[in-house]
Structure 1
């Protein structure tokens, strides 16, 4: 990860493998485009949730990016999901810092594929990163973690409000709901 060369002397240059573990996703037991009674677990692809399946291969806090196909989209998961075989799964005690590192990688330079883009675990492991000292990492994890929790709560609330709007607006427009007597 390029930087301007100016950093505290307690920080060191290392590789992504020094602060994260990288594995590949797996082929799911079954796949459904829509959520069903059997397929309730999100199936994670290189750039988004691409369907649903019946089991999970991760229930921990993970970061996911494309191994084959789409590169550079970094997804965050902290609930049961199945990471497909076209993904790289990154875990770390420094989740928030690694998330930021992954945002700055030049994925194009890591591409090994000629017709289909491909990034290997080995290449990702060797990405050069700047590693802050333990105290700085702890402080960053604490602050960024709190901010990302608030961000995720806000996203969830926005989804809930959009669903409520989408349920109520047609009823208001059709006259099924009458709000003219409300005292606001």
Structure 2
């Protein structure tokens, strides 16, 4: 793309879209096993190791997951890698996935559906957006991780209280 030129283009011009893979080994581990809508568990291997956006390919559509860690993206997902991570994230958040659905009984979208999404791209504006959005999204990600830890702590405390009450009866 020519620098500082406004351009209507396709999403594939700023991102690489691939399908996730079925894990070969389901041995329990520390790497998130990413499904179409959430983390399904933790396994001992990974197929991505840096900033990756993940959306559902089969089943759940419309949930955009963000990962900046080693993880395994399953075969029910599409993975998106881009030098314009935040811009790509917000593009994916604003897609009407219902219009892309090819499945009748089970919702289905393809790599080509995502690759062909029309976008507007002006490099200088997008780079400025990336700088601002990445600062905000880093805070968001830290807060989300903190909430996850607090939810785990809450669950632990509630289970300990329940156990103590049971022991007292």
TM-score (norm. length: structure 1): 0.78
Partner of 1:95: 85
**Alignment gaps of 5+ in structure 2:** 165-169
Between structures 1 and 2, the one with greater helix share: 2
1:78-127 deviations in Å (ceiling 9; x for gaps): 00100000100001000000100001111111111122211111111111
The answer to whether the aligner puts 1:110 opposite 2:105 as a matched pair is no
- What aligned pairs does 1:7-22 form with structure 2 within 5 A after superposition? 10-22=5-17
Q: Which runs of 5+ in 1 are unaligned?
A: 1-8, 33-37, 176-184
RMSD value, Cα: 2.3
CA distance in structure 1 between the partners assigned to 2:33 and 2:159 by the alignment: 32
Residue pair 2:15, 2:81 contacting (<8 A) in 1 also: yes
1:132-180, CA deviations, whole angstroms, 9 ceiling, x for partnerless residues? x2211111101100001111112222333444455557778999xxxxx
- Say which structure is richer in strand: 2
Query: 1:4-63, CA deviations, whole angstroms, 9 ceiling, x for partnerless residues?
Result: xxxxx943211110111100000012336xxxxx42211100000012222000011000
Does residue 139 (structure 1) correspond to residue 128 (structure 2)? The answer is yes
Is the CA contact (8 Å cut-off) linking 2:5 and 2:123 kept in structure 1? no
User: Which contiguous aligned blocks of 4+ residues in structure 1 show a shift greater than 6 angstroms?
Assistant: 169-175
1:49 aligns with 2:44: no
* Structure 1 residues 171 and 144: CA distance shift in structure 2, 3 A: same
Q: Answer yes or no: is 1:58 the counterpart of 2:53.
A: no
TM-score by length of 2: 0.85
